Structure 1
């Protein structure tokens, strides 16, 4: 019984650490070569954690992105480095960090791309490694 409690606690702790892409909105249209802001939110948590890094990339889908497994692909990496979300307004938003990145200029207008984020953190009393990948689909518009 104790093993089940510990397992449930570890699973709950891992899900509490999950980030989300708050901006841009899914299905937004972005232009090749343009700068966009990617906002990565991390919900408040009661368990201990130590943020390590995020990687942000774009992957040009061959057809609709929902028909391609983009969960393990980073594509064109536009940011790789520290992640240090800050609580700016406790009543309005969770802790977050904004990243200004450039949409690759070789993307073809009219196509879908996957905006991918890999998030690495250490969680719990023993600081166990936790890695997650997130993605949203964007449309490529005219430059």
Structure 2
């Protein structure tokens, strides 16, 4: 009986954490961005019934063309190498209706600039999201990333 309670508690914990998870809603994977130009990053999270408090996001950009990655963005752990920090600060998403009446989420847009000196080619756009979850609450850190294509100005 104790084993079943432990499994249930673990499943509830995993569900609560997953429900707080953010996504990089924009730009989409493979988007081209220009060095020296602005682009918008949309960080979204679903509406949830479990209590949570948003703390911050950090958005970084790292070139996949340089050693030790040699053009392969999937070959490194973005939680260990985050790249050039484009934003580090509060995450205060607001409630918006999604593409259908049943889909409602929270999101915040960030207008960022690709550094003019950034190496053209594949780059990993990385997002670290920090929140406090539950009645306790407990801290949660998650890292998401997508690959972009940086083009020279």
| Structure number, greater radius of gyration | 2
Large movers: runs of 4+ above 3 Å: none
Q: How much is the aligned-residue C-alpha RMSD, in angstroms? A: 1.4
Query: Aligned partners of 1:93 and 1:28: how far apart in 2?
Result: 25
Deviation string 1:33-78 (CA, Å, 9 cap, x unpaired) is 1111000001111100000000001011131212233243221001
Match of 2:17 in 1: 14
Q: What are the residue-to-residue correspondences of 1:109-128 with 2, within 5 Å?
A: 109=120, 111-128=121-138
Instruction: Determine which structure has the larger strand proportion and give its number.
Output: 2
Match of 1:40 in 2: 43
Shift of residue 19, structure 1, vs aligned partner: 0.3
Query: Aligned partners of 1:108 and 1:15: how far apart in 2?
Result: 34
Q: What are the residue-to-residue correspondences of 1:1-143 with 2, within 5 Å?
A: 1-61=4-64, 62=66, 63-89=71-97, 91=101, 93-109=104-120, 111-143=121-153
Q: Which runs of 5+ in 1 are unaligned?
A: none
Q: Is the 8 A contact 1:114 1:137 kept in 2?
A: yes
TM-score using structure 2 length: 0.87
Number of residue pairs matched by the alignment? 142
Q: Which runs of 5+ in 2 are unaligned?
A: none
